[in-house]
Amino acid sequence: MESLHKRILEEGKALSENVLKVDSFLNHQVDPDLMYEMGTYFKKYFEAHKITKIFTIESSGIAPSVMTAMQMNLPMVILKKQSSKILKGDVYQTTVHSFTKDMNYELTLQKKYINEDDNILIIDDFLANGEAALGAARLVEGAGAKVGGIGIVIEKSFQPGPQLLKEKGYDVYSLARIAKLGKGNIEFVK
C-alpha cells in the first residue's frame, strides 16, 4: 500500500531496532482517509473469504477495523484488554503478552458476540511477535468459530510473529512489511 509506505517514511520514527512510532496517523492521532483506504485493501483481499465478523483488539486496531467493517457491511467486535466490572461471567479470556508494553493482560470477549458459525477476520495495527493475533485467534477458536484471516496494518517481518502465524496456517495479509528498523532508518520488504 504505497500511501501507507509514504506516511511511514515521512512521519514514522524508528526509535530502535524493534520500535516504530506512528502516532501521527495510526495510534494517537488518526487519519480517517488513510484508514478508509486501508479498509478498501482489507476488503479486496478478504472479500472472498466469507467473513462474518471483524474482530480487533483495543485500541489502535479500531480505526482500520471500523473502515473495513463499513466497507464489508459486517459487524465489528472489539476485544477488551482492560479489566471491567461489567465484563464478568459469560466471557472468553486468554492471557496475552504485549511486546510494546512488556506486560501481560487478559484479552476478553463476551460470548454473546461470537458463535460457532462465525468466520472471523482479525485486524490489528502491528504484528511483531504475534502474541496479540494468537491471543485473538485462541478466543475465536475457543468459541468454536473459525479464523478466516488476519489483517495487519504494519508487519515487522524481521520479528517472529509473521512466520509463526503462517506456520499455524493463518492467512496473514499485511499492508506494510518492514524488513529492518534502526534509529532513523526504516526499510520495507522488497
Residue 169 is assigned to a ligand binding site? no
- pLDDT at residue 14 in the model: 95
Q: Which of 142, 110, 161, 74 minimizes the C-alpha distance to 150?
A: 161
Residue 131 is assigned to a ligand binding site? yes
143 three-state secondary structure:
coil
C-alpha distances in Å from residue 9, one per residue of 30, 48, 132: 16, 32, 25
- pLDDT at residue 41 in the model: 98
Residues 6+ apart with CB under 8 A from 157: 174, 177, 178, 179, 189
Dist CA 142 CA 64 (whole Å): 25
- pLDDT at residue 130 in the model: 95
- pLDDT at residue 86 in the model: 65
- Which domains does the chain carry? 32-179 (3.40.50.2020)
Alpha helices, H only, the chain: 2-11, 32-46, 62-72, 131-142, 161-167
- pLDDT at residue 103 in the model: 85
For every one of its 190 residues, what pLDDT tens digit does the chain have, with 9 covering 90 and above?
999 999 999 999 999 999 999 999 998 999 999 999 999 999 999 999 999 999 999 988 999 999 999 999 999 999 998 766 666 678 999 999 877 777 888 899 999 999 999 999 999 999 999 999 999 999 999 999 999 999 999 999 999 999 999 999 999 999 999 999 998 899 999 8
Dist CA 73 CA 52 (whole Å): 9
Which class for 93: exposed (0-12), middle (13-18), buried (19 or more C-beta within 10 A)?
middle
Residue 165 is assigned to a ligand binding site? no
Residue 73 is assigned to a ligand binding site? no
| CB of 136 closer than 8 Å to CB of 65 | no
